[in-house]
Structure 1
Amino acid sequence: MLDHTTTDAPQADTRTLDLDLAAAGVAGVIITWADNNGIPRSRTVPVEQFTAATERGIGITPLFAVFDSHDTITFDHPPLGTPSGDIRLTPVTDRIVHLAGQPAFAWAPGRQIAPDGSPWPYDQRTALERQLARAADLGITIRAGYEIEFHLSPADDTGDDPRPIYDGPSYGPAKMLAVDAFAEQLLRDLNRNGIPIGQLHGEYGPGQYELNIAPADPLTAADHQLLTRQTIHAAARNHGLRASFAPLVTPGHVGNGWHLHTSPSRDGDNLLSGGDGPAGITPQGAAYLAGLLRDLPAIAAITAPSLSSLQRLRPGYWSGAYTCWGVENREAALRLVPATPLLGPHHANLELKPSDASANPYLALTAVIAAGLSGIEDALTPPGPVQEDPATWTEQQRADHGIHRLPTTVQQQLDALLNNSRIRTALGEEITGAFRAVRTSDAGRATGLDPADIVRAYRWLY
C-alpha cells in the first residue's frame, strides 16, 4: 500500500497509516497546497504527528491567500487586512504518496479549513469541488490532463541568463541523451509515485523538455500537477540539475506552457465526438467550447496570470494569443483535438493554450469548467473554427471574425475577470478579491523593470 503509490486509505485509518508510513521508512509527510500565484507552499509533519495533523490540522496564517509572487504580503484585500488570525491545513489522506525520489518523505495535497473545521472560503480546492458538484447535477463528467513544459540548467549555473543543459536540434534523441540519467530516474519516480504519463521528450526551446500527464478526474489532475512538480524538482536535484517551470525562462525565447486539456462527457459519451459539428463535435460539446471561448479573457486571467505569462503570450509562439478556436490549430487559444479512427472517440479533448505554471491548478480547472458548464446551460453555439494563424490577418479581418488579442497587461486581465460574473461566482468573492490584490501587488513590484528583469524575477519561482 505504501510502495510509492497513491493509497486509498480512508480518513479514519490514519493511525494505521502512521504505522505503515513509519514501517516504510518515512520520517515526515509533506502537505502541499498552491497559492494564488500557482506557487506550491507546504508544511512537513513528523510521521508520528500525522494522525494529529489529520484530525486537528496544522495552524497556518490565512495571509497565504494574499502572498504575492515574491512573498510580499499585501493587505489590499480588507477581509485579510491584518496579521491576526489562524486557519488549519489538513492532509487529504486518500491521496498520500511515499515519494520515490525522496524516500524519507511522503506527500499529500492539503485542504485549508476554518478553525472550527468548516470550509474556508479562500480554499482553492473547495472552489473546484463546487464546480464538480455543479457538473454532476447537470449529468456531466469532466476529464482533465496537463502537458508540462520545463527548462533544465546545470544546478551550479548562476549567470544572469541560465545555460541550458542542451542547446541543439529540438525533439531529437541527442537532447534526451544529454539528460539520460535524469530521464531514467524521472520516469521511474513518476511511475512509482502513481502519476501515469504518455511521453517525455526534448521540446523546442534550448534546454526545454515536456511530459504529458494522463487524463483523470479534475481533482486528481490538479493533485497530479503539484506532485509532478515535486517529482521533477527532486529528480533534477539528484542529477545536478535545476528545473524551471516559469512561463518564460529566457527573454525572447519560447516559453513553458502547461497546456490544460479537458473533455466533457454524458453517460460515458464524449461530447466532443460523435456529432455532426466540425471534427465530429456534438451540440453540447460545441456549447462547452463556446462557453470557454466566451469567457476566454477571464479564464486566461486565472490560467496565465503572472507578468511572466503576459510576456509568453505572443503571436507566433503557439501560446494562443488570440480569442479563437480551431481544429488542431496550434496558434488558436482553444485547440480542438478530435477523435480519430486510430485513437477512438474518447480521445477527443479541448486544449487551452494560454495556461502555465503560474496558475493555481485548482483555480485553473475551476474557471475552465465553470465557463464550459455555463456554455452548456446557455446552449451556446460557437463561431466556425479558425484554421490559420490570426496574427497574419489584418485588424479588420480579425474584427470581422470577432477575434481579439487576449489581455496584455495586468489591469486588462483584472478588468476581464472582475467584469465576468460567471467566473467570479465560480471562484467566490473571497478568492476573487484576494486574487485581485495579489495581481495588483505583483504589478506594483514590476514598476520600472524592463521585460528582461521581469523574466529573471520569475525564473526560479516555479
Structure 2
Amino acid sequence: MTKAASAAAKDFAAAGVGGVHLAWADNNGIPRSRIVPVAGLAEAATRGVGATSLFAVFDTHDAITYAHPGLATPSGDIRLVPVVERLRRLAGQPALAWAPVRQVGKDGGPWPYCQRTVLEAQVAEGARRGLEFRAGYELEFAVAAAGSADVVANPGHPGPAYSPHALVRLDGFVASLLHDFAANGLRIGQLHAEYGLAQLELSLAATDPVSAADDQLLARQTIHAAAHTHGLVVSFAPMVGLGVAGNGWHLHTSVRRKGRNLLESDETGKPAEQGYLAGLLRDLPALSAITAPSVPSTLRLRPGYFAGAYAFWGVENREAPLRYVPGSPMLGADHANVELKTSDASANPYLALAVVLAAGMAGLEDAAELPEPIGDDPGSWTAEERETRGVRRLPADPAEQDAALLASPRISGVLGEELLGAFRAVRASDAAWAADRTAEEIVAAHLWRY
C-alpha cells in the first residue's frame, strides 16, 4: 500500500496536485476531512493522520456531546488511514485529490466507531452466506445563487419540474457536473430538474455497497465544487422550505446468490425470494432512525410528497418508502431492485447501507413473508383504513426514532454497543437543540450542513 501511495503522490505532484482530502462522514451524515500535503500521502497511508476521537460525538451543529460514556472526556486520539485504491484527483479542484478513510485506533487496530468498518463487516457477512449486494444512490439537491441564505427566496432555477428549459440558466453547471463526474470516476445514470423548488437529481451507477458509500461522499465533493465554480451553492438538506418538497437520497439495493438476483419477480409480481424486502419492511421504523435521522428528516416525511411517511411497500409506487422496481422486458429481469425513499443526506452512508443489508439478510434468514403491495397513498386513507391494512406512520420525532431503534436488536446491534451509544448521544443533542426552536428555524439551520 505504501508503494501505491508513493506512486500516486509522485503522479499527483507532477500534475500540480498540492494536497489530498482524507474524508469521512460523521454520525450526522456531514462530511469531514483533513488535507495532507501530497508529499505526506505515503506516510499517511502507513501511519495514518491524527484526529480527535470526539468526531464520533459531534452533533449536527458542531457541538460536542459528552453524554456517551465511552467518549466522555476531551482526551483521546485516533488515526485516519486513507483507502489508497479509492484515491482520485478532483477535476473541479485540480490542486487537490481525495480519498476516503478508515478510522482506526492508535495501534492501527479496529476502532468501534468507524462507520466504514461497520459496513465492511456486513458485506463480509453477506459473502459468508453466499450473498452479493449491489447499491446505488439517487441524490436530490436544491440550487441557489452564491451568498444566498435561503433557497426559497432565491431559487437557482425557475422550473418547470423535469423541463429542459429549467436547466438553461444552469447550463455551465450541468456541463461541469457531467465532465467532473466522469473525470472523478463516477458514473451518472441520469440528471434532470426534479419536482422540488430549484431541485436537481442525479443517479449514481450501482456498485458494491462500500464503493457506493464512498461514491456518495465523492459525489457531494464534486457537486459542491462545480457549483462554486459557477457562482452557485447547493443544499442537500432534507428540507429547504416548509411548503416545498424536500431532498431525499434514495437508496437502491439488490442481492444476488450465485449470480442470480433474488429480487427477480415471480408470477405474482412479488420478488421470487420475498425475505430481503420483507426484512426491510419488518425493521423499517428502526431503519429510518439511521437512514433519515435528523430533525428535518422527520419534517420531510409527509404524505403526498413522495417521501415515504408510512410503513408499507409497493410496486413502483413513489409514495411507498419501499418501492419495489421489478425487471422488465426492456431492462431484463436482473434489473430488479428495491428503493428506500426514507433516506436523506443526514444519514451516514456507510451506516445506512450497513443496516439495510443487515435487515435484508435477516429477512432472508427467517424466510420473512411480504404482505400484499399497496398501490395507493395511505395518507389519503382514513385512520381506520390504515389500521385495517396494518399501515402505521413511521417515527415522526426524535423520541419515536430512538424508541424504534432500541426496539430492534437486529438494527441497533449492527452498530455495536459503542457506536450505538455515540449515535444516540448525538441524536439526543440534536433533539435538545431543536426543542425550543420553530420549524422554520430548524430548516434554516440545517440548510448548508451537508
Provide the C-alpha distance between the structure 2 equivalents of 1:219 and 1:105, rounded to a whole number of angstroms. 23
Q: State yes or no: 1:241 paired with 2:252.
A: no
Provide the C-alpha distance between the structure 1 equivalents of 2:370 and 2:293, rounded to a whole number of angstroms. 25
Q: State yes or no: 1:156 paired with 2:144.
A: no
Specify which of 278, 282, 285 is matched with residue 272 of structure 2: 282
Partner residue in 2 for 1:422:
410
Conserved? CA contact 1:162–1:250, under 8 Å: no
Query: Which amino acid letter does the alignment assign opposite residue 236 of structure 1?
Result: A
Partner residue in 2 for 1:454:
442
Provide the C-alpha distance between the structure 2 equivalents of 1:274 and 1:331, rounded to a whole number of angstroms. 20
Partner residue in 1 for 2:97:
106
Q: How far has the Cα of 1:398 moved from its partner?
A: 1.3
Which stretch shifts more, 444-453 or 217-226?
A: 444-453
Provide the C-alpha distance between the structure 2 equivalents of 1:230 and 1:73, rounded to a whole number of angstroms. 24
The 5 Å alignment of 1:164-243 reads: 164-243=155-234
Identity %: 56
Provide the C-alpha distance between the structure 1 equivalents of 2:338 and 2:131, rounded to a whole number of angstroms. 15
**SS at 2:136's partner residue?**
strand
Unaligned runs of 5+ in 2: none
Specify which of 341, 344, 352 is matched with residue 353 of structure 1: 341
Give runs of ≥4 in structure 1 deviating > 6 Å.
Answer: none
Conserved? CA contact 1:30–1:107, under 8 Å: yes
Q: How far has the Cα of 1:11 moved from its partner?
A: 5.0
CA RMSD of aligned residues (A): 1.1
Partner residue in 2 for 1:5:
none
The CA deviation string for residues 254-296 of structure 1, in whole angstroms up to 9 with x for no partner, is 00000000001111111111533424x112xx10000000000
Q: Which TM-score applies when normalising by structure 2?
A: 0.98
The 5 Å alignment of 1:259-338 reads: 259-279=250-270, 281-283=271-273, 286-338=274-326
Q: How far has the Cα of 1:162 moved from its partner?
A: 4.2
Unaligned runs of 5+ in 1: 1-9
The CA deviation string for residues 1-30 of structure 1, in whole angstroms up to 9 with x for no partner, is xxxxxxxxx554222222112112110000
Query: Which amino acid letter does the alignment assign opposite residue 415 of structure 1?
Result: A
Provide the C-alpha distance between the structure 1 equivalents of 2:97 and 2:347, rounded to a whole number of angstroms. 24
Specify which of 26, 51, 55 is matched with residue 17 of structure 2: 26
Q: State yes or no: 1:433 paired with 2:421.
A: yes
Partner residue in 1 for 2:34:
43
Partner residue in 1 for 2:330:
342
Partner residue in 2 for 1:257:
248
**SS at 1:428's partner residue?**
helix
Partner residue in 1 for 2:361:
373
Conserved? CA contact 1:273–1:345, under 8 Å: yes
**SS at 2:395's partner residue?**
coil
Partner residue in 1 for 2:88:
97
Q: State yes or no: 1:396 paired with 2:384.
A: yes
Provide the C-alpha distance between the structure 2 equivalents of 1:318 and 1:290, rounded to a whole number of angstroms. 21
Query: Which amino acid letter does the alignment assign opposite residue 247 of structure 1?
Result: P
Q: Which TM-score applies when normalising by structure 1?
A: 0.96
Query: Which amino acid letter does the alignment assign opposite residue 108 of structure 2?
Result: G
Conserved? CA contact 2:151–2:240, under 8 Å: no
Provide the C-alpha distance between the structure 2 equivalents of 1:54 and 1:254, rounded to a whole number of angstroms. 42
Q: How far has the Cα of 1:425 moved from its partner?
A: 1.4
**SS at 1:362's partner residue?**
helix
Q: State yes or no: 1:58 paired with 2:46.
A: no
